[in-house]
Every structure is written in structure tokens, then in C-alpha cells.
Structure 1
Amino acid sequence: MTDRLPHEKGFHVSWDQIHRDSRALAWRLDKQGPLEGGAWRGVVAITRGGMAPAMIVSRELGIRTVDTISVKSYNHQAQTEPQVIKAPNPEMMGTDGEGILVVDDLVDTGKTLELVRKLYPKAHFATVYAKPKGRPLVDTFITEVSQDTWIFFPWDMALQYVEPYRGKD
């Protein structure tokens, strides 16, 4: 038995690491689209966490058509029922999202991707990180982490002193 809080089983991601992992995601997606030559029609970032990876993926793949879908599913670190608060351009998405690459930083329980997949069932869903509960909803990812791991992304972090894992000595 441990007296650590669940979020203390942390996976800390630096800006360099998210950049490397997002580039690896782009390499995995290169020439995998449904259009001629394996191209994609566009990239949609799930905001906010998907914006940095989507920017890197779109740059690496030379995709200039980029939009966002804003889904709110967390409220002060507590998960809530996801809801779309900003949809991408309907002309870009078409009726089913075919040829669109939807990018997010992480699939956790899968509730966000489940909602977006219902709206755009033929889109390709890619995340940098995946947890087991959400993994079936993502088509492509780079790194899997355990369900009880809390991922600390660089945009949520500040540099500060941290106690040693085993306590003070």
C-alpha cells in the first residue's frame, strides 16, 4: 500500500519531449491518409491539449488547412460529460470527416474522442499518448501509459522544488 495520491504517479513531459513525440506521430501518419499519395485534407486539433501536437504534425506533413474543435470535458481536474463548445468549419469536415486528421495530446477514458468520432466517423484520430480505457478509440498513437498515470504537460507546469520520492533524508 502506498500513501501517494493518484496524480503523484506522474509522467512529466517537457516541451522537447512533446515536440519529439509529436514529430514521431507525424512520421507514423505520413502517407497514411485516404487521398492520392496518402495525403490528408486537413488537421483538426482538439483544444486545448491537441493544439501543440497538431501544429507540429501539420508542419511536418505540410498540411496548411488546420482548424480546431473545442470540447470541454474537465472542470478543475474533475471529468465531466464532454460537450462541443466550438466546432470546426463544416465545409472542411464534410458530412463525416473523411480525409481529416483529428489530433489530441492524450486519450484518457475516451469520452472526448467518442463524442468527436460520433460527429466525424470517417476521420482519423491520432494522439501522442494513450491510456488503456481510451486506446480503442484512437487510430494512431505513440506512447501508452497506465490508466492511473497522471501526465503533466509542459503547458500546465511551472519550475519548482519537488520533494524526493522516498522523502527527506
Structure 2
Amino acid sequence: MAPRYYTVTWDQLHRDGKALAWRLVERGPWTGMVAITRGGLIPAAIVARELDCRLIETVSVVTYDEEQRGHPQVVKPPQAALESQGEGWLLIDDLVDTGTTAKVVRAMLPKAHFATVYAKPAGKPTVDTFITEVSQDTWILFPWDTEPQFIAPIAKARGNGGGGQ
């Protein structure tokens, strides 16, 4: 089965981030926000602006190191939020996929409200709020992971291009 792709543009990410803020505004006020790096940094900036949140902390969990696959490591804990186990804090990430990162962060901050822009079925139970669900077999292409480039027309790519102008 060929992989599925879901391309997210900067404009779409901004719209979806703002939609996430609309869902979260009534649940506040928030003590602060924890952005899960790296994917949660830009969504957190959008949500922080909309919620007028100035206290932003980060947490870094490494899960995609090929040698340690399956063994997530916290390389930078969210110090300010740890004191209250996350009570009153908002966790923001771009995507919850399998829930591996989410479970690690949840263990550190069990009282925080966890919100993501996108969610896949396997990770959905680990978050409190999300905007868009995508299938588990879909690879999301975020704007910071892609760049615009020329793609040959289908006919030329198949070697039967040509014809008039």
C-alpha cells in the first residue's frame, strides 16, 4: 500500500492553530504553556498569541533516534510547570501520532491540559483537545519539513510528454 500524505501549508497551520485557540480560550486562564519541541513550537506561538499567554516553557523528548527507537528520552524538562504537575498549564504539540511522546510528557505533567493541532487514532486518547484527525497511515508534511520545488507535469514524468503548446 502506497503511503498517504497530508500536506499542511503555512496558511492552513495558522488557521488550524487559531481554531485550536478558540477551543481552548474558555478553558483558561492558563498559568502558562509548554511547547513540545520541535513540532509544537510554531503551533504554541500561534495559540499563545491568541490566548495572550506570555509564559512559555518547552519540553524536549527525543523519540526518533534510530539507535534508541522505542526508548524516549527527556532531554529538556519543563522546569516551571513541574512544580504544579502541570496544573493550570497548557501542553501544545503539532501532532499526536502513536502517543509515545504524549505519554512521557503526561507522566511529568499529569494535571496539564494537552492540546494538539492534529491527531491520529492511536494517540488520540492521550490528548484532551485537538482540531483535525488524520488516519494512522497518513504522513503529515508540515511546512517546516518541506520546501516548494518544481515538479514535472505527469505526462513528462512518464516519458510521453510533448504535443502542442
TMscore range, shorter length:
0.7 to 0.9
1:72-111 matches, cutoff 5 A: 72-75=62-65, 80-90=70-80, 92-111=81-100
**19, 22, 25: which is aligned to 1:27?**
22
1:1-169 matches, cutoff 5 A: 2=1, 4=2, 6=3, 9-33=4-28, 39-75=29-65, 80-90=70-80, 92-162=81-151, 168=158
Match in the other structure for 1:36: none
Q: Which runs of 5+ in 2 are unaligned?
A: 161-165
Q: Secondary structure at the match of 2:63?
A: strand
Contact 1:40 1:63 in 2 (8 A): yes
1:54-84, Cα deviation, whole Å (9 max, x unpaired)? 01101100010001001111137x9542111
Per the normalisation by structure 2, the TM-score is: 0.88
Point out 4+ residue stretches in structure 1 off by more than 3 angstroms.
161-169
Q: CA deviation at 1:140?
A: 0.2
What is the rounded CA distance, in whole Å, between the counterparts of 2:143 and 2:51 in structure 1?
Answer: 23
Question: What is the total number of aligned residue pairs between the two structures?
Answer: 157
Report the identity percentage: 57
Letter in 1 for 2:9: S
Per the normalisation by structure 1, the TM-score is: 0.86
What CA RMSD, in Å, does the superposition of the two structures yield over aligned residues? 2.0
Q: CA deviation at 1:163?
A: 6.2
Change (3 A) 1:95 1:162: same
Contact 2:82 2:108 in 1 (8 A): no
